[in-house]
Amino acid sequence: MAKDLRPIIWDDDKKELILIDQRKLPNKLEYFICKTYEDVAFAIKDMVVRGAPAIGVSAAYGLALAEIRGDDIYKAYEVLKNTRPTAVNLFWALDRCLEAYKNGKSILEEAKEIHNEDVETCKKIGMIGEKLIEDGDTILTHCNAGALATSAYGTALSVIRFAFYNGKKIKVIADETRPRLQGAKLTAFELSYEGIPVKVITDNTAGFLMQKGEIDKIIVGADRILADGTVYNKIGTYSLAVLAKYHGIPFYVAAPLSTFDLKSKEEDVIIEERDEKEVAYIDGVRIVPENVGCYNYAFDKTPPELITAIITEKGIVKPNKDDILKLFSK
Ligand SMILES: CSC[C@H](O)[C@@H](O)C(=O)COP(=O)(O)O
């Protein structure tokens, strides 16, 4: 069961954060121990832990470690906040912990609450979203919006998991997701771990499969969703959404309310640009001529008109401001 695959564990006796080291998957299931907030900041930056909800939960424990060790909370907050710029859950979780601290509440208690809520939220997303899946569907997903990207179950993969748990015979196609290969390494790992049928494709195969009529639905996660329904997610999401529109394939985004950023406008959102070496090298071997540079944007922006619906823990909504704002008043 998915809930066994938990990338984030808090050890209350040792006061340590234990993370599955996602850099080592699928070949090794190793753990990375964080004893300080600096360890957590490194783990987020270096993608030991990744995925919007998972980095939010980890950062909350990072701030708790700062409190436990008597470090400067405001400095720790800044360091953790500057690890990755796009996924809003990081800022949401840190702000929530800082607010708790200012109100005299233990940061550790707040972090534990955020962690437990994330498990429940992802479970609800799966239970609500699985109703959109039909028996026999082949579902395409991108990157890893799975248990490994959250505290358990995942967002997009929670929908897939619950459809499978409910006896629907589904097949999953996972985009490999260059350059970090979260689809090939993580999505394929966690789905096959549970016996959910999955096949990996190169990113440039997706259009061909759609053209052949082999994809029934597309479900992806999100790193940030604006009030108008604009979705920021792993680079390549936008291309998939355009292809889906052309081929008349439903395109769903699954995300918790903590991924919505109702305050920011498009110009406020920073798209992370990572080291170009991630693109230039494969397995330590340079594949691009020495004198040629690379673009390495980690995320892209998908406009609401390309999105069929957004699946949240509070229900399924159309990507528009009225429906999104109603979610927050429920
Ligand atoms: C549920 S996490 C958000 C995503 O859908 C996920 O696919 C993603 O973009 C994660 O990016 P990452 O760079 O691996 O942290």
Which ipTM score applies to this complex?
0.98
Rounded CA gap, 135 and 29, in Å?
32
- List, in order, residues 6 or more apart from 237 with CB less than 8 Å away: 142, 143, 220, 231, 299, 300, 302
What's the pLDDT score for residue 130? 98
With 50 as the cut, is the pLDDT of residue 96 above it? Answer: yes
Flag whether 81 is marked binding. no
Domain ranges for the chain, please list them: 8-121, 126-327
What's the pLDDT score for residue 2? 46
What is the chain's mean pLDDT, rounded? 97
Rounded CA gap, 111 and 145, in Å?
21
Rounded CA gap, 121 and 198, in Å?
24
CATH for 8-121 (3.40.50.720, 1.10.760.10, 1.20.120.420, 3.30.365.10): 1.20.120.420
What's the pLDDT score for residue 315? 98
How do residues 113-152 score in pLDDT, each as one tens digit? 999 999 999 999 999 999 999 999 999 999 999 999 999 9
What's the pLDDT score for residue 5? 81
Confidence tier at 1 by pLDDT (50, 70, 90): very low
pTM of the model: 0.97
- Cβ neighbours around 321 below 10 Å, total: 13
> Which whole number is the average pLDDT over 159-188?
98
How do residues 256-273 score in pLDDT, each as one tens digit? 999 999 999 999 999 999
Rounded CA gap, 207 and 211, in Å?
6
What's the pLDDT score for residue 4? 67
> Which whole number is the average pLDDT over 167-173?
98
- Nearest atom, ligand 1, residue 299 CA: 9
The active-site residue out of 21, 118, 223, 261 is 223
223 given a catalytic annotation:
yes
> Which whole number is the average pLDDT over 85-92?
98
Q: Is 51 in the pocket of ligand 1 (CB under 6 A)?
A: yes
Higher-confidence residue: 270 or 5? 270
Q: CA angle, 2 as apex, 59 and 137 as ends, to 5°?
A: 115
Give residue 330 CA to ligand 1 midpoint distance, Å: 27
CATH for 126-327 (3.10.520.10, 3.40.640.10, 3.40.50.10470, 3.20.20.140): 3.40.50.10470
Atom 1 of ligand 1, residue of closest alpha carbon: 145
